[in-house]
Amino acid sequence: NLGGTLAISRVAGENYGTYAITPAGLTSSNYEITYTTGTLSITKKALTITAEDKSKAYGGADPAFTVSYIGFITGENESNLGGTLTISRVAGESCGTYTITPAGLTSSNYEITYVNGSFTIISNNALLSNLILGSIPFRPDFESGIISYTAGVGYSISSTTVTPTADDNNATIEVNGTALASGEASGQINLHVGPNTINVVVTAEDRVTTKNYTITVSRNSDSSDPEPDEEAPDAFVIDSNSVEKEISTTDDGKIIETFTVKGEMQEQITEAKAEGKTSVEINVESNQQTTTVVKVPTNVLQGSVGMNVSIVTPNATLELPTALVEALANGGQGLSLTVERGNAGVVAAEMAGVSDALGSQVLGTPTDINTTIQGNTSITLPLTGITLPNETEERAVFLESLAVFAIHSDGERTIIAGTIIYDNDGNPVGIRFAVDKFSTFTVIKTPTIRKQITLTIGELNATVNGSPYVLDAAPFIKQSAGRTLVPVRFVSEMLMADVEWLPETKQVRTTYNAKEVKLTIGSAFIIVDGEEQKLDCPAEIVNMRTYVPLRFISETLGASVVWNGENKTIFISR
């Protein structure tokens, strides 16, 4: 019954606030029309500003702190806000988690809510706080900063455990490639006659920093110890009866022997594991002159999860730790391995271009290894065809000089240090080393060892490279410290180092290859190139001669030190 047209308008604006709504436009001859304005309220929009989580390695610089925004209307961003954004964190540089707090921004149109973030300082501590080798004592006494240790055991001790404890609870530990919880004992580690290297790798929380501790345990082969009881072998052996063999010939006349482990072996491996077997050993009886191909089906690897797997061929033995076996099995991968003899002439030519290999000599026949394996693997090359010296000291020097020259498929050429492997009669039979990629490996003799010194506790008679030498001061054992001390001048000079006595400071200064070492009489600390290091026990003067602990020789002069406890003889070589 009204005339006209109703019009409703409001005061223009889109910002937070209250705006009048005004009706108008209607007419009537019968009604006295009165308009009452209304209000339109624009409330603030919710805006959440969140500090993004950040982290850094201990000792590093803080990264740039940032925030994220949720709630802007289309076309707007942080430039539409007032104030100045500040992002701060709780002070502290110790490892742990700290609160990141954003603040400082203002707005008339947004209801701002701040959400704190977390800043984590990640430890790069890859040290051990303790290391126990079963009930076997080792030298030197454990210190976190010392990574190399030695121990000797009689023939009756055929295995041991290792209990490493990480200094940081967030670090991880592997013993010979197998993960182990901090403070827990490893499984039994078999000890062969001769030296056995146990590797304890600690990885810091940052998953970048690592430290490798090694314990070399030498098991005696000639002892009055009682023979150990016969024990069931801990390896499940796959022999020629459990593999399928094929022989083929390439167009160029190369003979290829292919050995495929039968898939039915999975069930037998599973049963062996239930019986307590800890490893699988695949023995391949191939001709050393042919190309050997070994194939392990996926299901066989899956049955071997939790066990070490060794593949033994005439030219090389590969040992896969449990972690790698599990990774291959979980990835649904089988294993394929090709081993063949390489060309010594090619290796010698490649060595000529590597400065670290200058003067080295190729021994035996190189071994080419190609495989689908991707991960840390232990390889043992036999010492077959390499003539060893008959004399004990000369043989020790020769074995110490052996290493492996690797020509990797990615172009890298490098020398790899190895560990000599001995049979049950104490004869050296192979050299073991660890790699994570495969190509050509050759046993070489390096020229780095030039001196071999033999000392006997309490005796003035010594030898240098086999020639007799009479000392004017005999080495002795300091009972209160449990350490062997040797005359520093004689040993240093025989290892081509310069020795000087500084009477004003009661210091001995030795220099070798631009390295300067100062030791102070009565002090357990030495200064190596300006940095302080700690000795096992202080240097001391006895009968006008300065003595130092054996560790001084190995760490400052780069020499290898071997202790024979039976005849109290010290072998120092470099």
Percent of the chain with pLDDT over 70: 91
Mean pLDDT across 107-117: 95
Domain co-membership, 255 together with 348: yes
State yes or no: pLDDT of 466 exceeds 70: no
Residue-averaged pLDDT of the chain: 85
Considering the domain boundaries, does residue 224 fall inside one?
no
Partners of 87 in the β-ladder: 102
Considering the domain boundaries, does residue 229 fall inside one?
no
Domain co-membership, 290 together with 433: yes
Domain co-membership, 290 together with 423: yes
Number of domains in the chain: 5
Residue-wise pLDDT for 518-535, tens only, equals 888 888 888 888 888 887
Percent of the chain with pLDDT over 90: 35
Considering the domain boundaries, does residue 226 fall inside one?
no
Domain co-membership, 98 together with 138: no
Considering the domain boundaries, does residue 79 fall inside one?
yes
DSSP state of 78: G
Rounded Cα distance between 8 and 26, Å, is: 11
Rounded Cα distance between 552 and 85, Å, is: 57
β-pair type (210-219, 148-153): parallel
DSSP state of 361: E
What pLDDT is recorded for position 233?
54
Domain co-membership, 515 together with 488: yes
Considering the domain boundaries, does residue 181 fall inside one?
yes
Domain co-membership, 162 together with 199: yes
Domain co-membership, 181 together with 316: no
What pLDDT is recorded for position 332?
83
State yes or no: pLDDT of 231 exceeds 70: no
Q: What's 398's domain CATH number?
A: 2.60.220
Domain boundaries, position 475: 452-573
Domain co-membership, 482 together with 431: no
Domain co-membership, 277 together with 355: yes
State yes or no: pLDDT of 155 exceeds 90: no
Structure-block tokens of residue 113: 């809510």
Domain co-membership, 377 together with 439: yes
DSSP state string for 404-470:
EEEEETTS-EEEE--EEEE-TTS-EEEEEEEESS-EEEEEEE-S----EEEEETT-SEEEETTEEEE
